[in-house]
Amino acid sequence: MKYFILSILLGVLIISFSSFRDVIEIKKSAPQQKSTPMTRGKVVYTQYCMPCHQVDGSGVPNLNPPLINTSYVLGSKATLVQILVKGFNKGVEIDGDFYSNPMPAQALSDQQVSDVLTFVRNSFGNKATAVTVAEVKALKSKLK
């Protein structure tokens, strides 16, 4: 009887130890989320742009313009870089709504500008080419 209980205890111990090892192994082999311009751009967007342009890029009527299929978002990369680096206070009309609030300059690195513009140009139904760090660098140097 004593040995019976002992062997059961030993069995439980071995089983729990091996399943513990499984947990560790599962953790080790969990796929790491790969960092891409889109995943990094989403992080920048959430922190810097979302408060005004909203989570789905639809903006706030008559306050902050939408970022969905606008001529700015899909258009000139030079203008986009300028909007982020210098801020924007031109007044825009999008779908019959007027926006005259100023957009403050965004304190972002070249990498962040490249990532967030690539994200915006390929989210919310937008489809446009990526903006590389090299392009941001070149376009920024023309601004000064």
Report, in Å, the least distance between residue 36 CB and ligand HEC. Answer: 17
Q: Out of 42, 54, 69, 92, point to the residue binding ligand HEC (CB under 6 A).
A: 92
Site for ligand HEC contains 103 (CB under 6 A): yes
Q: Out of 52, 78, 128, 138, point to the residue binding ligand HEC (CB under 6 A).
A: 52
Q: Which residue has the tokens 């967007």?
A: 45
Residues 121, 130 contacting (CB under 8 angstroms)? yes
Q: 62-82: b or e for each residue (b if 16 or more CB lie within 10 Å)?
A: eebbbbbebebbbeebeebbb
Which residue, 119, 89, 115, is CA-closest to 104? 89
Report the distance separating Cα 27 and Cα 98, nearest Å. 51
Window of 5-13, 31-39, 47-55, 133-141 that interacts with ligand HEC by CB under 6 A? 47-55
Q: Out of 7, 36, 62, 89, point to the residue binding ligand HEC (CB under 6 A).
A: 89
Residues 120, 45 contacting (CB under 8 angstroms)? yes
Site string for ligand HEC, 1-40 (x = CB under 6 A): ----------------------------------------
Report the distance separating Cα 50 and Cα 31, nearest Å. 28
Site for ligand HEC contains 111 (CB under 6 A): no
Which chain residues interact with ligand HEC by CB under 6 A? 48-49, 51-53, 64-67, 70, 72-73, 80, 83-84, 88-92, 94, 99-101, 103-104, 106, 116, 120
